[in-house]
């Protein structure tokens, strides 16, 4: 995997990570359809994030523990408490490791 591809993945990761869907007002009849579409979009975003995180790990930008934390937080929806138990550390430390990993990805040149 070349460095240009990793840079593109980084750009997409930052966009996906910071993206938020616009707030809209819906009629009651439209709510179900909107929620179904939102679930599909969220699944697509999670799958893309998972693939990008694997690339960052493979390229050595983040280490194994950081990859595990980010992928479980964003793809599997694990809580800080669950991850803290896995590593026998505090929730705050998991949050710090998550922040460090995201910073590493954002700062990659």
Residue 26 DSSP label: -
Class of domain 3-17+37-107 as given by CATH: mainly alpha
Long-range contacts of residues 9-17, Cβ cutoff 8 Å, at least 24 apart: 9/52, 9/55, 9/56, 10/52, 10/56, 10/105, 10/106, 10/108, 12/48, 12/52, 13/49, 13/52, 13/53, 13/56, 13/105, 14/105, 14/106, 16/45, 16/48, 16/49, 16/52, 17/49, 17/74, 17/102
Q: What is the pTM of this model?
A: 0.64
The domain segmentation of the chain, as residue ranges, is: 3-17+37-107
Query: Given pLDDT bands bounded at 50, 70 and 90, which one contains residue 18?
Result: low
CA distances from 80 to 7, 18, 41, 77 (A): 28, 20, 24, 10
- Arithmetic mean of pLDDT over the chain: 79
Q: What is the pLDDT of residues 24-75, one digit of tens each?
A: 555 655 665 655 666 666 777 777 777 888 888 888 999 999 999 998 888 7
Is residue 91 classed as helix, strand or coil in its secondary structure? Answer: helix
């Amino acid at each position: 995997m070349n460095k240009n591809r990793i840079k593109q993945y980084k750009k997409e990761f930052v966009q996906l990570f910071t993206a938020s869907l616009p707030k809209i007002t819906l009629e009651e009849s439209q709510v179900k359809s909107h929620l179904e579409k939102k679930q599909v979009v969220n699944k697509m975003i999670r799958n893309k994030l998972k693939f990008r995180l694997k690339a960052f790990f493979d390229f050595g930008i983040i280490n194994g523990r950081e990859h595990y934390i980010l992928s479980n937080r964003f793809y599997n929806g694990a809580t800080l408490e669950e991850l803290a138990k896995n590593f026998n550390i505090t929730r705050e430390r998991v949050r710090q490791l998550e922040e460090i990993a995201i910073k590493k990805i954002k700062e990659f040149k």
